[in-house]
Chains A and B, each alone.
Chain A
Amino acid sequence: MIHQYKNNGYNIVMDVNSGSVHVVDDIVYDMIPLVEPLVTGGVKDADTVKAAVLACGNLRYEEKDILEAVDEVLELEKAGVLFAEDVYENAITDFKSRKTVVKALCLHIAHDCNLACKYCFAEEGEYHGRRALMSFEVGKKALDFLVANSGSRINLEVDFFGGEPLMNWQVVKDLVAYGRSLEEPHHKKFRFTLTTNGVLLNDEIMEFANKEMANIVLSIDGRKEVHDRMRPFRNGSGSYDLIIPKFQKVAESRDQMNYYVRGTYTHNNLDFSKDVLHLADLGFKQISVEPVVAEPSEEYALREEDIPQLLEEYDKLAVEMLKRQKEGNGFNFFHFMIDLKGGPCVYKRLSGCGSGTEYLAVTPWGDLYPCHQFVGNEKFLLGNVDEGIVKTDIVDEFKSCNVYAKDKCKTCFAKLYCSGGCAANAYNFSGSVNGVYDAGCELQKKRIECAIMIKAAMAEE
Protein backbone atom coordinates (compact mmCIF):
# COMPACT_ATOMS: atom_id res chain seq x y z
CA MET A 1 0.00 0.00 0.00
CA ILE A 2 1.31 3.39 -1.02
CA HIS A 3 0.35 6.77 0.40
CA GLN A 4 1.80 9.78 -1.37
CA TYR A 5 1.28 13.43 -0.59
CA LYS A 6 2.83 16.86 -0.99
CA ASN A 7 3.49 19.00 2.05
CA ASN A 8 5.57 22.15 2.49
CA GLY A 9 7.33 21.59 -0.83
CA TYR A 10 8.19 17.94 -0.19
CA ASN A 11 6.93 15.01 -2.26
CA ILE A 12 6.55 12.13 0.15
CA VAL A 13 5.89 8.50 -0.65
CA MET A 14 5.04 6.21 2.26
CA ASP A 15 5.30 2.50 1.68
CA VAL A 16 2.87 1.53 4.40
CA ASN A 17 3.58 -2.18 4.81
CA SER A 18 7.36 -1.92 5.04
CA GLY A 19 7.20 1.32 7.04
CA SER A 20 9.56 2.98 4.54
CA VAL A 21 9.43 6.67 3.72
CA HIS A 22 10.81 8.11 0.49
CA VAL A 23 11.25 11.74 -0.46
CA VAL A 24 11.02 11.88 -4.24
CA ASP A 25 11.21 14.32 -7.13
CA ASP A 26 8.25 15.18 -9.37
CA ILE A 27 9.03 12.46 -11.91
CA VAL A 28 8.89 9.65 -9.39
CA TYR A 29 5.92 11.23 -7.62
CA ASP A 30 3.91 11.27 -10.85
CA MET A 31 5.13 7.83 -11.89
CA ILE A 32 4.29 5.87 -8.73
CA PRO A 33 0.53 5.61 -9.48
CA LEU A 34 1.42 4.18 -12.91
CA VAL A 35 3.95 1.67 -11.64
CA GLU A 36 2.06 0.46 -8.57
CA PRO A 37 -0.69 -1.51 -10.38
CA LEU A 38 1.91 -3.10 -12.65
CA VAL A 39 4.21 -4.26 -9.88
CA THR A 40 1.47 -5.39 -7.52
CA GLY A 41 -0.04 -7.23 -10.47
CA GLY A 42 3.21 -9.15 -10.88
CA VAL A 43 4.81 -7.13 -13.72
CA LYS A 44 8.32 -6.37 -12.47
CA ASP A 45 10.46 -6.72 -15.58
CA ALA A 46 12.22 -3.38 -16.12
CA ASP A 47 11.72 -3.22 -19.88
CA THR A 48 8.02 -4.04 -19.63
CA VAL A 49 7.47 -1.48 -16.90
CA LYS A 50 9.39 1.18 -18.82
CA ALA A 51 7.44 0.50 -21.99
CA ALA A 52 4.15 0.69 -20.11
CA VAL A 53 5.09 3.96 -18.39
CA LEU A 54 6.21 5.57 -21.66
CA ALA A 55 3.14 4.28 -23.51
CA CYS A 56 0.91 5.92 -20.97
CA GLY A 57 2.13 9.30 -22.23
CA ASN A 58 1.00 11.18 -19.15
CA LEU A 59 4.44 12.10 -17.92
CA ARG A 60 5.83 15.27 -19.42
CA TYR A 61 9.49 14.68 -18.62
CA GLU A 62 12.54 13.76 -20.67
CA GLU A 63 12.47 10.08 -21.67
CA LYS A 64 15.96 9.57 -20.26
CA ASP A 65 14.87 10.85 -16.85
CA ILE A 66 11.72 8.72 -16.86
CA LEU A 67 13.69 5.55 -17.62
CA GLU A 68 16.25 6.36 -14.95
CA ALA A 69 13.47 6.94 -12.42
CA VAL A 70 11.82 3.61 -13.29
CA ASP A 71 15.11 1.85 -12.52
CA GLU A 72 15.28 3.53 -9.12
CA VAL A 73 11.67 2.65 -8.31
CA LEU A 74 12.22 -0.99 -9.25
CA GLU A 75 15.41 -1.10 -7.23
CA LEU A 76 13.44 -0.07 -4.13
CA GLU A 77 10.77 -2.63 -4.90
CA LYS A 78 13.41 -5.33 -5.08
CA ALA A 79 14.81 -4.22 -1.74
CA GLY A 80 11.36 -4.65 -0.17
CA VAL A 81 10.89 -0.97 0.65
CA LEU A 82 8.34 -0.07 -2.01
CA PHE A 83 5.07 -1.82 -2.91
CA ALA A 84 5.73 -4.26 -0.04
CA GLU A 85 3.02 -6.81 0.63
CA ASP A 86 0.85 -6.86 3.74
CA VAL A 87 2.02 -9.95 5.59
CA TYR A 88 0.76 -9.06 9.04
CA GLU A 89 -2.88 -10.11 9.27
CA ASN A 90 -2.33 -13.70 10.38
CA ALA A 91 0.53 -12.74 12.67
CA ILE A 92 -1.56 -10.20 14.55
CA THR A 93 -4.48 -12.58 14.94
CA ASP A 94 -2.16 -15.09 16.61
CA PHE A 95 -0.50 -12.36 18.64
CA LYS A 96 -3.76 -10.96 19.94
CA SER A 97 -5.05 -14.35 20.99
CA ARG A 98 -2.04 -14.87 23.29
CA LYS A 99 -2.37 -14.71 27.04
CA THR A 100 -1.99 -11.07 28.00
CA VAL A 101 -0.66 -9.54 31.18
CA VAL A 102 -1.58 -6.29 32.89
CA LYS A 103 1.26 -3.82 32.67
CA ALA A 104 -0.25 -0.42 33.36
CA LEU A 105 -2.83 1.09 35.66
CA CYS A 106 -4.48 4.45 35.69
CA LEU A 107 -5.25 5.09 39.35
CA HIS A 108 -8.16 7.45 39.87
CA ILE A 109 -6.69 8.71 43.05
CA ALA A 110 -9.38 11.39 43.44
CA HIS A 111 -12.80 11.61 41.90
CA ASP A 112 -12.93 15.23 42.84
CA CYS A 113 -11.46 18.37 41.40
CA ASN A 114 -10.74 21.95 42.38
CA LEU A 115 -11.47 23.17 38.85
CA ALA A 116 -14.68 22.91 36.86
CA CYS A 117 -13.36 22.43 33.31
CA LYS A 118 -16.24 22.59 30.87
CA TYR A 119 -15.10 19.74 28.65
CA CYS A 120 -14.14 17.33 31.43
CA PHE A 121 -15.05 13.76 30.49
CA ALA A 122 -14.81 13.05 34.20
CA GLU A 123 -17.69 15.45 34.92
CA GLU A 124 -15.56 17.74 37.09
CA GLY A 125 -13.88 14.70 38.55
CA GLU A 126 -16.95 12.77 39.54
CA TYR A 127 -17.26 10.44 36.54
CA HIS A 128 -21.05 10.33 36.61
CA GLY A 129 -20.81 9.02 40.17
CA ARG A 130 -19.96 10.33 43.59
CA ARG A 131 -17.02 12.35 44.82
CA ALA A 132 -14.46 10.09 46.41
CA LEU A 133 -10.79 9.78 47.26
CA MET A 134 -8.89 6.52 46.88
CA SER A 135 -7.74 5.11 50.20
CA PHE A 136 -4.22 3.79 50.67
CA GLU A 137 -5.71 0.32 51.20
CA VAL A 138 -7.46 0.32 47.82
CA GLY A 139 -4.37 1.71 46.09
CA LYS A 140 -2.20 -0.93 47.73
CA LYS A 141 -4.51 -3.69 46.49
CA ALA A 142 -4.36 -2.16 43.01
CA LEU A 143 -0.55 -2.32 42.99
CA ASP A 144 -0.65 -5.88 44.33
CA PHE A 145 -3.12 -6.77 41.56
CA LEU A 146 -0.78 -5.23 38.98
CA VAL A 147 2.26 -7.13 40.21
CA ALA A 148 0.30 -10.40 40.44
CA ASN A 149 -1.09 -10.05 36.90
CA SER A 150 2.00 -8.75 35.14
CA GLY A 151 3.63 -12.11 34.38
CA SER A 152 7.27 -11.75 33.42
CA ARG A 153 6.95 -8.13 32.40
CA ILE A 154 9.46 -6.00 34.26
CA ASN A 155 8.40 -2.42 33.54
CA LEU A 156 5.09 -1.53 35.14
CA GLU A 157 3.38 1.83 34.71
CA VAL A 158 1.14 3.59 37.16
CA ASP A 159 -0.45 6.94 36.41
CA PHE A 160 -1.88 9.01 39.24
CA PHE A 161 -4.93 10.49 37.63
CA GLY A 162 -8.18 12.06 38.67
CA GLY A 163 -10.11 14.27 38.98
CA GLU A 164 -7.19 16.03 40.52
CA PRO A 165 -4.68 13.67 42.17
CA LEU A 166 -3.04 16.39 44.26
CA MET A 167 -6.27 16.52 46.29
CA ASN A 168 -5.17 13.16 47.68
CA TRP A 169 -1.42 13.72 47.71
CA GLN A 170 -0.52 11.82 50.85
CA VAL A 171 -1.97 8.63 49.36
CA VAL A 172 0.05 9.23 46.16
CA LYS A 173 3.24 9.46 48.23
CA ASP A 174 2.36 6.39 50.28
CA LEU A 175 1.59 4.37 47.16
CA VAL A 176 4.88 5.35 45.54
CA ALA A 177 6.69 4.14 48.65
CA TYR A 178 4.68 0.93 48.65
CA GLY A 179 5.35 0.38 44.94
CA ARG A 180 9.08 0.86 45.47
CA SER A 181 8.99 -1.73 48.25
CA LEU A 182 7.58 -4.27 45.79
CA GLU A 183 10.25 -3.73 43.12
CA GLU A 184 13.13 -5.82 44.40
CA PRO A 185 11.25 -8.82 45.79
CA HIS A 186 9.15 -9.16 42.65
CA HIS A 187 11.82 -8.13 40.13
CA LYS A 188 9.69 -5.24 38.83
CA LYS A 189 10.31 -1.62 38.03
CA PHE A 190 7.56 0.94 38.52
CA ARG A 191 7.29 3.99 36.31
CA PHE A 192 5.04 6.44 38.08
CA THR A 193 3.46 9.36 36.28
CA LEU A 194 1.25 12.20 37.45
CA THR A 195 -1.39 14.25 35.66
CA THR A 196 -2.29 17.49 37.39
CA ASN A 197 -4.07 20.81 36.87
CA GLY A 198 -1.38 22.50 38.95
CA VAL A 199 -3.64 24.32 41.41
CA LEU A 200 -2.12 22.65 44.47
CA LEU A 201 1.44 22.31 43.15
CA ASN A 202 4.07 23.49 45.60
CA ASP A 203 7.80 23.03 46.16
CA GLU A 204 7.41 19.89 48.26
CA ILE A 205 5.25 18.22 45.59
CA MET A 206 7.64 19.26 42.82
CA GLU A 207 10.62 17.87 44.69
CA PHE A 208 8.86 14.55 45.27
CA ALA A 209 7.60 14.38 41.68
CA ASN A 210 11.06 15.13 40.29
CA LYS A 211 12.47 12.26 42.32
CA GLU A 212 9.74 9.69 41.72
CA MET A 213 7.70 10.52 38.62
CA ALA A 214 9.02 9.40 35.24
CA ASN A 215 6.68 11.84 33.56
CA ILE A 216 4.38 14.60 34.69
CA VAL A 217 1.51 15.95 32.63
CA LEU A 218 0.55 19.54 33.34
CA SER A 219 -2.87 20.56 32.09
CA ILE A 220 -3.02 23.95 30.36
CA ASP A 221 -4.85 24.89 27.18
CA GLY A 222 -2.73 27.76 25.85
CA ARG A 223 -3.58 31.46 25.68
CA LYS A 224 -5.02 32.97 28.86
CA GLU A 225 -8.45 33.70 27.40
CA VAL A 226 -8.68 30.19 25.88
CA HIS A 227 -7.52 28.49 29.06
CA ASP A 228 -9.68 30.51 31.44
CA ARG A 229 -12.80 30.04 29.35
CA MET A 230 -12.64 26.26 29.58
CA ARG A 231 -10.70 25.71 32.81
CA PRO A 232 -12.24 27.94 35.50
CA PHE A 233 -12.43 27.40 39.23
CA ARG A 234 -15.81 26.39 40.55
CA ASN A 235 -16.52 30.07 41.28
CA GLY A 236 -16.01 30.90 37.59
CA SER A 237 -12.65 32.69 37.84
CA GLY A 238 -9.79 31.59 35.59
CA SER A 239 -6.89 29.39 36.68
CA TYR A 240 -4.24 30.53 34.16
CA ASP A 241 -2.45 33.12 36.30
CA LEU A 242 -2.10 30.75 39.24
CA ILE A 243 -0.67 27.79 37.37
CA ILE A 244 1.66 29.36 34.77
CA PRO A 245 4.56 30.23 37.10
CA LYS A 246 4.26 26.83 38.80
CA PHE A 247 4.33 24.96 35.50
CA GLN A 248 7.33 26.99 34.32
CA LYS A 249 9.11 26.07 37.52
CA VAL A 250 8.28 22.37 37.06
CA ALA A 251 9.56 22.42 33.47
CA GLU A 252 12.83 24.09 34.43
CA SER A 253 13.33 21.87 37.47
CA ARG A 254 13.05 18.82 35.19
CA ASP A 255 15.57 20.29 32.74
CA GLN A 256 12.78 20.69 30.18
CA MET A 257 12.44 16.91 29.86
CA ASN A 258 10.07 14.17 31.00
CA TYR A 259 7.01 16.36 31.29
CA TYR A 260 4.28 17.69 29.01
CA VAL A 261 2.18 20.77 29.15
CA ARG A 262 -1.01 19.31 27.78
CA GLY A 263 -3.98 21.20 26.46
CA THR A 264 -7.28 20.52 24.79
CA TYR A 265 -8.54 22.54 21.84
CA THR A 266 -12.23 22.94 21.12
CA HIS A 267 -14.60 24.65 18.67
CA ASN A 268 -13.81 27.85 20.59
CA ASN A 269 -10.14 27.89 19.56
CA LEU A 270 -9.93 26.41 16.10
CA ASP A 271 -6.77 28.52 15.65
CA PHE A 272 -5.11 26.24 18.19
CA SER A 273 -1.67 26.54 16.62
CA LYS A 274 -1.54 29.93 18.37
CA ASP A 275 -2.05 28.15 21.68
CA VAL A 276 0.77 25.74 20.97
CA LEU A 277 3.05 28.63 20.03
CA HIS A 278 1.94 30.57 23.09
CA LEU A 279 3.08 27.68 25.27
CA ALA A 280 6.36 27.54 23.34
CA ASP A 281 6.78 31.30 23.84
CA LEU A 282 6.36 30.77 27.58
CA GLY A 283 9.45 28.56 27.41
CA PHE A 284 7.86 25.10 27.42
CA LYS A 285 9.71 22.56 25.30
CA GLN A 286 7.39 19.55 25.64
CA ILE A 287 3.93 20.41 24.41
CA SER A 288 0.81 18.44 23.66
CA VAL A 289 -2.44 20.06 22.56
CA GLU A 290 -5.19 17.71 21.50
CA PRO A 291 -8.70 17.84 20.05
CA VAL A 292 -11.59 17.75 22.50
CA VAL A 293 -13.73 14.64 22.46
CA ALA A 294 -17.29 15.68 23.23
CA GLU A 295 -20.95 15.00 22.60
CA PRO A 296 -21.94 16.76 19.36
CA SER A 297 -24.60 18.70 21.29
CA GLU A 298 -21.98 20.60 23.31
CA GLU A 299 -21.29 24.14 22.11
CA TYR A 300 -17.53 23.54 22.33
CA ALA A 301 -17.59 20.22 20.40
CA LEU A 302 -15.65 20.08 17.16
CA ARG A 303 -17.90 19.98 14.09
CA GLU A 304 -17.39 18.41 10.72
CA GLU A 305 -17.11 21.84 9.10
CA ASP A 306 -14.22 22.69 11.45
CA ILE A 307 -12.00 19.95 10.04
CA PRO A 308 -10.52 21.86 7.04
CA GLN A 309 -9.37 24.70 9.29
CA LEU A 310 -7.94 22.27 11.82
CA LEU A 311 -5.97 20.50 9.10
CA GLU A 312 -4.55 23.85 7.97
CA GLU A 313 -3.61 24.65 11.55
CA TYR A 314 -1.51 21.48 11.75
CA ASP A 315 0.24 22.44 8.50
CA LYS A 316 0.93 25.95 9.77
CA LEU A 317 2.22 24.61 13.06
CA ALA A 318 4.57 22.15 11.34
CA VAL A 319 6.11 24.91 9.22
CA GLU A 320 6.57 27.21 12.21
CA MET A 321 8.08 24.39 14.28
CA LEU A 322 10.64 23.72 11.57
CA LYS A 323 11.49 27.41 11.38
CA ARG A 324 12.03 27.58 15.12
CA GLN A 325 14.03 24.36 15.08
CA LYS A 326 16.38 25.84 12.48
CA GLU A 327 16.71 29.00 14.55
CA GLY A 328 17.79 26.91 17.54
CA ASN A 329 14.53 27.54 19.38
CA GLY A 330 12.74 24.27 18.73
CA PHE A 331 10.21 22.41 20.84
CA ASN A 332 8.46 19.04 20.76
CA PHE A 333 4.81 18.72 19.85
CA PHE A 334 3.55 15.36 21.06
CA HIS A 335 1.40 14.58 18.05
CA PHE A 336 4.19 15.40 15.59
CA MET A 337 6.65 13.11 17.30
CA ILE A 338 7.30 10.00 15.33
CA ASP A 339 10.07 7.51 15.82
CA LEU A 340 10.88 6.18 12.36
CA LYS A 341 14.13 4.41 13.29
CA GLY A 342 13.40 3.06 16.75
CA GLY A 343 9.64 2.97 16.81
CA PRO A 344 7.55 0.06 18.00
CA CYS A 345 7.51 -3.38 16.41
CA VAL A 346 4.68 -4.31 14.11
CA TYR A 347 2.81 -6.20 16.85
CA LYS A 348 2.54 -3.08 18.95
CA ARG A 349 1.57 -1.04 15.91
CA LEU A 350 -1.26 -3.36 15.02
CA SER A 351 -2.59 -4.09 18.47
CA GLY A 352 -3.13 -0.57 19.72
CA CYS A 353 -3.13 1.01 23.13
CA GLY A 354 -3.80 -2.10 25.21
CA SER A 355 -6.92 -0.76 26.92
CA GLY A 356 -8.97 -3.49 28.56
CA THR A 357 -6.10 -5.95 28.45
CA GLU A 358 -2.70 -4.52 29.34
CA TYR A 359 -4.00 -1.22 30.59
CA LEU A 360 -6.79 -0.78 33.15
CA ALA A 361 -8.25 2.06 35.16
CA VAL A 362 -9.02 1.76 38.88
CA THR A 363 -11.70 3.87 40.58
CA PRO A 364 -11.27 5.30 44.09
CA TRP A 365 -13.25 2.36 45.49
CA GLY A 366 -11.28 -0.24 43.50
CA ASP A 367 -13.45 -1.03 40.49
CA LEU A 368 -11.61 -1.98 37.31
CA TYR A 369 -12.47 -0.52 33.88
CA PRO A 370 -10.82 -0.96 30.44
CA CYS A 371 -9.41 2.59 30.63
CA HIS A 372 -10.02 5.96 32.25
CA GLN A 373 -12.43 6.96 29.47
CA PHE A 374 -14.80 4.08 30.27
CA VAL A 375 -14.94 4.76 34.00
CA GLY A 376 -18.52 5.31 35.10
CA ASN A 377 -20.03 3.28 32.26
CA GLU A 378 -21.28 0.23 34.15
CA LYS A 379 -21.46 -1.78 30.95
CA PHE A 380 -17.66 -1.86 30.99
CA LEU A 381 -17.13 -2.67 34.66
CA LEU A 382 -14.59 -5.52 34.57
CA GLY A 383 -14.25 -6.42 38.24
CA ASN A 384 -12.42 -4.97 41.23
CA VAL A 385 -9.10 -5.08 43.03
CA ASP A 386 -10.37 -7.70 45.51
CA GLU A 387 -11.76 -10.23 43.05
CA GLY A 388 -9.74 -9.29 39.99
CA ILE A 389 -11.25 -9.37 36.52
CA VAL A 390 -14.66 -11.04 36.59
CA LYS A 391 -16.07 -10.04 33.20
CA THR A 392 -13.60 -11.83 30.97
CA ASP A 393 -15.95 -11.46 27.98
CA ILE A 394 -15.28 -7.71 27.99
CA VAL A 395 -11.54 -8.33 28.09
CA ASP A 396 -11.94 -10.71 25.14
CA GLU A 397 -13.76 -7.99 23.21
CA PHE A 398 -10.85 -5.60 23.76
CA LYS A 399 -8.37 -8.34 23.05
CA SER A 400 -9.82 -8.91 19.61
CA CYS A 401 -9.59 -5.20 18.86
CA ASN A 402 -6.87 -4.57 16.29
CA VAL A 403 -6.32 -2.84 12.97
CA TYR A 404 -7.58 -5.79 10.92
CA ALA A 405 -10.77 -6.04 12.98
CA LYS A 406 -11.74 -2.58 11.73
CA ASP A 407 -12.79 -2.39 8.09
CA LYS A 408 -11.96 1.29 7.74
CA CYS A 409 -8.47 0.75 9.14
CA LYS A 410 -7.52 -2.09 6.81
CA THR A 411 -7.15 0.26 3.85
CA CYS A 412 -5.88 3.28 5.76
CA PHE A 413 -2.28 4.44 5.38
CA ALA A 414 -2.16 5.53 9.00
CA LYS A 415 -2.92 2.11 10.45
CA LEU A 416 0.64 1.34 11.52
CA TYR A 417 1.04 4.69 13.27
CA CYS A 418 -2.26 5.11 15.13
CA SER A 419 -3.01 1.41 15.63
CA GLY A 420 -6.70 1.78 14.99
CA GLY A 421 -7.24 4.72 17.28
CA CYS A 422 -8.80 5.14 20.69
CA ALA A 423 -11.29 2.42 21.66
CA ALA A 424 -13.28 4.82 23.84
CA ASN A 425 -13.67 7.33 21.03
CA ALA A 426 -14.63 4.51 18.67
CA TYR A 427 -17.26 3.29 21.13
CA ASN A 428 -18.66 6.75 21.81
CA PHE A 429 -19.03 7.66 18.14
CA SER A 430 -19.77 4.34 16.48
CA GLY A 431 -21.23 2.23 19.29
CA SER A 432 -18.45 -0.36 19.08
CA VAL A 433 -14.86 -0.57 20.25
CA ASN A 434 -14.15 -2.02 16.84
CA GLY A 435 -15.57 1.02 15.07
CA VAL A 436 -13.74 4.24 14.24
CA TYR A 437 -14.15 7.91 15.09
CA ASP A 438 -14.04 9.47 11.62
CA ALA A 439 -13.25 13.07 12.56
CA GLY A 440 -10.45 11.86 14.81
CA CYS A 441 -9.08 9.83 11.91
CA GLU A 442 -8.93 12.88 9.63
CA LEU A 443 -6.91 14.80 12.20
CA GLN A 444 -4.69 11.83 12.97
CA LYS A 445 -3.83 11.34 9.30
CA LYS A 446 -2.86 14.98 8.92
CA ARG A 447 -0.68 14.82 12.03
CA ILE A 448 1.17 11.81 10.65
CA GLU A 449 1.72 13.58 7.33
CA CYS A 450 3.09 16.63 9.10
CA ALA A 451 5.30 14.54 11.37
CA ILE A 452 6.84 12.75 8.41
CA MET A 453 7.30 16.01 6.49
CA ILE A 454 9.23 17.36 9.47
CA LYS A 455 11.45 14.26 9.39
CA ALA A 456 12.03 14.77 5.67
CA ALA A 457 12.97 18.41 6.23
CA MET A 458 15.28 17.56 9.11
CA ALA A 459 16.98 14.88 7.01
CA GLU A 460 17.93 17.59 4.54
CA GLU A 461 19.89 19.51 7.16
Chain B
Amino acid sequence: MKHIKTLTTRDLKESMKKGGCGECQTSCQSACKTSCTVGNQSCEKMK
Protein backbone atom coordinates (compact mmCIF):
# COMPACT_ATOMS: atom_id res chain seq x y z
CA MET B 1 0.00 0.00 0.00
CA LYS B 2 1.16 3.50 -0.78
CA HIS B 3 -0.56 5.46 1.97
CA ILE B 4 -0.77 2.95 4.80
CA LYS B 5 1.70 0.70 6.54
CA THR B 6 0.10 -1.85 8.83
CA LEU B 7 2.12 -3.18 11.76
CA THR B 8 1.87 -6.87 12.45
CA THR B 9 -0.50 -7.41 15.34
CA ARG B 10 -2.32 -10.31 16.91
CA ASP B 11 -5.85 -10.77 15.53
CA LEU B 12 -7.88 -10.15 18.67
CA LYS B 13 -11.12 -11.44 17.24
CA GLU B 14 -9.39 -14.67 16.31
CA SER B 15 -7.97 -14.90 19.84
CA MET B 16 -11.55 -15.34 21.12
CA LYS B 17 -11.63 -18.79 19.55
CA LYS B 18 -8.63 -20.33 21.26
CA GLY B 19 -7.96 -17.86 24.06
CA GLY B 20 -8.76 -17.88 27.72
CA CYS B 21 -6.55 -20.78 28.83
CA GLY B 22 -5.39 -18.71 31.82
CA GLU B 23 -1.79 -19.92 31.78
CA CYS B 24 -0.45 -16.40 31.29
CA GLN B 25 1.38 -14.44 33.93
CA THR B 26 -0.55 -12.44 36.51
CA SER B 27 -0.02 -8.79 35.68
CA CYS B 28 1.12 -7.53 39.07
CA GLN B 29 3.69 -10.24 39.49
CA SER B 30 6.02 -8.51 37.09
CA ALA B 31 7.35 -5.07 37.81
CA CYS B 32 4.42 -2.92 38.55
CA LYS B 33 2.64 -3.52 41.85
CA THR B 34 0.94 -0.11 41.58
CA SER B 35 -0.65 -0.17 38.15
CA CYS B 36 -2.20 -2.58 35.73
CA THR B 37 -0.55 -3.18 32.39
CA VAL B 38 -1.63 -6.15 30.39
CA GLY B 39 -0.78 -5.28 26.78
CA ASN B 40 2.90 -5.89 27.39
CA GLN B 41 2.47 -9.44 28.54
CA SER B 42 3.09 -12.42 26.34
CA CYS B 43 0.67 -15.20 25.61
CA GLU B 44 2.05 -18.48 27.00
CA LYS B 45 0.83 -20.35 23.94
CA MET B 46 2.64 -18.04 21.54
CA LYS B 47 6.02 -18.09 23.32
A84 touches B (CB below 8 Å): yes
| Inter-subunit contact B34/A24 (CB<8 Å) | no
Residues from chain A with a CB closer than 8 A to the CB of B13 are 17-18, 80, 84, 87, 346
Checking A88, A191, A372, A420 against B36 with a beta-carbon cut-off of 8 angstroms, the contacting residue is: A420
Number of chain B residues whose Cβ lies closer than 8 Å to a Cβ of chain A: 44
How near does chain B come to A335, taking the closest CB pair, in angstroms? 6
How does the 8 Å CB contact mask read for A211-238 relative to B, with 1 for contact and 0 for none?
0000101000000000000000000000
Task: Report the bound CA distance from A349 to B41 in whole Å.
Answer: 10
A290 touches B (CB below 8 Å): yes
How does the 8 Å CB contact mask read for B4-36 relative to A, with 1 for contact and 0 for none?
111111111101101111111111111111111
| Inter-subunit contact B32/A288 (CB<8 Å) | yes
Checking B1, B21, B22, B29 against A72 with a beta-carbon cut-off of 8 angstroms, the contacting residue is: B1
Task: Report the bound CA distance from A202 to B18 in whole Å.
Answer: 45
How near does chain A come to B4, taking the closest CB pair, in angstroms? 5
Task: Report the bound CA distance from A84 to B11 in whole Å.
Answer: 11
Residues from chain A with a CB closer than 8 A to the CB of B3 are 24-25, 27-28, 65, 68-69, 72
| Inter-subunit contact A215/B30 (CB<8 Å) | yes
Checking A22, A344, A354, A417 against B43 with a beta-carbon cut-off of 8 angstroms, the contacting residue is: A344
Task: Report the bound CA distance from A17 to B14 in whole Å.
Answer: 11
Q: A347-B16, A417-B39, A444-B35 are in contact. Are A76 and B28 (CB under 8 A)?
A: no
Least CB separation from B17: chain A residue:
A345
How near does chain A come to B22, taking the closest CB pair, in angstroms? 6
Interfacial residues of chain A within 379-436, with CB under 8 A of chain B in the complex? 416-423, 425
How near does chain B come to A49, taking the closest CB pair, in angstroms? 15
Interfacial residues of chain A within 75-122, with CB under 8 A of chain B in the complex? 75-76, 80-81, 84, 87-88, 91, 95, 101, 103-104, 106, 121
A193 touches B (CB below 8 Å): yes
Interface residues on A, range: 35 or more
Task: Report the bound CA distance from A422 to B4 in whole Å.
Answer: 35
A455 touches B (CB below 8 Å): yes
Least CB separation from B30: chain A residue:
A215
| Inter-subunit contact B34/A425 (CB<8 Å) | yes
Q: A22-B4, A24-B3 are in contact. Are A339 and B42 (CB under 8 A)?
A: yes
How does the 8 Å CB contact mask read for A348-369 relative to B, with 1 for contact and 0 for none?
1100111100110000000000
Q: A103-B22, A373-B34 are in contact. Are A343 and B6 (CB under 8 A)?
A: no
Residues from chain A with a CB closer than 8 A to the CB of B37 are 334-335, 417-418, 444
Q: A84-B13, A157-B26, A348-B19 are in contact. Are A343 and B43 (CB under 8 A)?
A: yes
Least CB separation from A94: chain B residue:
B20
Interfacial residues of chain A within 271-303, with CB under 8 A of chain B in the complex? 288, 290-293
Task: Report the bound CA distance from A27 to B21 in whole Å.
Answer: 42
| Inter-subunit contact B9/A20 (CB<8 Å) | yes
Residues from chain A with a CB closer than 8 A to the CB of B2 are 68, 72
| Inter-subunit contact A354/B27 (CB<8 Å) | yes
How near does chain A come to B19, taking the closest CB pair, in angstroms? 3
| Inter-subunit contact B24/A262 (CB<8 Å) | no
A57 touches B (CB below 8 Å): no
Task: Report the bound CA distance from A129 to B31 in whole Å.
Answer: 25
Task: Report the bound CA distance from A72 to B4 in whole Å.
Answer: 7
| Inter-subunit contact A101/B10 (CB<8 Å) | no
Q: Which residues of B contact A (CB under 8 A)?
A: 1-13, 15-16, 18-44, 46-47
Question: Could you pull out 10 A-B pairs where Cβ atoms are within 8 angstroms?
Answer: A19-B12, A23-B4, A191-B29, A338-B39, A341-B46, A345-B21, A354-B27, A416-B39, A418-B38, A419-B27
- Other A-B contacts than A76-B6, A288-B31, A343-B10, 10 sampled, CB-CB below 8 A, are A18-B9, A19-B9, A22-B7, A27-B3, A159-B29, A191-B29, A292-B34, A341-B46, A353-B36, A451-B39
